[in-house]
Structure 1
Amino acid sequence: MFADLLKRLTAPEPEKLPDPDARLALGALMVRIARSDGDYADVEIAEIDRRLMERYRMGPQQAAALRAQCEALETEAPDTVRFTRAIKDAVGHDDRLAVVEAMWAVVMADGVRDDAEDSLMRMVVNLLGITDQESHAARLRITKP
């Protein structure tokens, strides 16, 4: 189903992704971080939907449908290193930074920072070309009341 998107993402020199494909790829990263601790909790799913609604100005049903596609893409996507590097080359910096903030929101949604989530976040942030300082600032924006 996503073979063409994955082929374009993993091409030797990927082109910038059109918006619908970028949405799927970035949403798949949120799903991957939520699944990383082995507990894909309802609160994490709700946070992903909320972030999709907010970022792409869509209603709850549209966000849930997009998340379902992101879940399917995440399942088919290559290992995290190749997938994330491909996204870095095909998606602009501002969009990648926004997804890091959204990923932190997903990590914090259940109130627990799991070691698996922290480890994956460190790796993904680096592979996306986001600095530790930018990631830290994004996390603070999420955790401040």
Structure 2
Amino acid sequence: MLKKLFQVFRPPQTPATPDPDAELALGALLVRVAQSDRDYQLEEISLIDRILARLYQHNAIEAAKVRAACEKLHAAAPETDTFGKLIRETTGLEERLAALDALWEVVLADEREHPGEIRIVEDARKAMGLSRNDSDKARKRAQDKLLAVPDTAAASAIATDDTTPQEPQS
């Protein structure tokens, strides 16, 4: 009886957050960017899942589970530069550039750049040891990726277009 009474006055225990590695740190940064405008959209959630699947070879279910863990990690609120430093210390330059590309993809996903999103990307960029030029190039790659919507009809027309004269068929 006394035990139950004391439990009422104790603060509830929060579920333990996983120890972050580079993947979870990037995922938490992606979630942080997506939630920074206080409008965490399904499109952004799906994009984060696709990015995690692409970068870490997950299937859709595994990527969603990782994102869920990243949401918890983000909620625990380590500073953005903490995540960026973890990525810098545990990955090579190519992986850090891919992380920066992914952050820009999420920023540009809703076709609006919010100051809070830009600030997070800048803080992460600095913590990952990347230059402003790296960020500009990553932003451009992310824009190009968003503009490259495959149009199968146009692609097949281009693929079959031959500028050399055709011989008439008999």
What is the TM-score with the length of structure 1 in the denominator? 0.80
CA contact (8 A) 1:24 1:66 kept: yes
Higher alpha-carbon Rg: 2
Amino acid paired to 1:89: E
Deviation at 1:95, TM superposition (A): 1.6
Mapped partners of 2:142, 2:133: distance in 1: 14
Amino acid paired to 1:57: Q
- Tell me, which stretches of 5 or more residues in structure 1 are unaligned? 7-20
Highest relative contact order (Cα 8 Å, sep 6+), 1 or 2?
Answer: 1
- Tell me, which stretches of 5 or more residues in structure 2 are unaligned? 1-15, 148-170
Residue 22 to residue 86, structure 1, CA distance change in 2 (3 Å): closer
What is the TM-score with the length of structure 2 in the denominator? 0.69
The alignment partner of 2:112 has SS state of coil
Partner of 1:141: 141
1:22 pairs with 2:22: yes
Residue 77 to residue 139, structure 1, CA distance change in 2 (3 Å): same
Percent identity between matched residues is: 38
Partner of 2:92: 92
RMSD of Structure 2 on Structure 1 (CA): 1.7
Deviation at 1:93, TM superposition (A): 2.4
Runs of 4+ in 1 over 4 A off after TM superposition: none
Q: Deviations over 1:27-85 (max 9, x none)?
A: 11111111112211111111101111111222211111111011111112422233323
CA contact (8 A) 2:25 2:86 kept: no
Residue 71 to residue 130, structure 1, CA distance change in 2 (3 Å): same
Partner of 2:103: 103
CA contact (8 A) 2:52 2:63 kept: yes
Amino acid paired to 1:73: L
Deviation at 1:131, TM superposition (A): 0.8
Indicate the structure with greater helix content: 1
Deviation at 1:25, TM superposition (A): 1.5
Amino acid paired to 2:92: G
Residue 85 to residue 56, structure 1, CA distance change in 2 (3 Å): closer
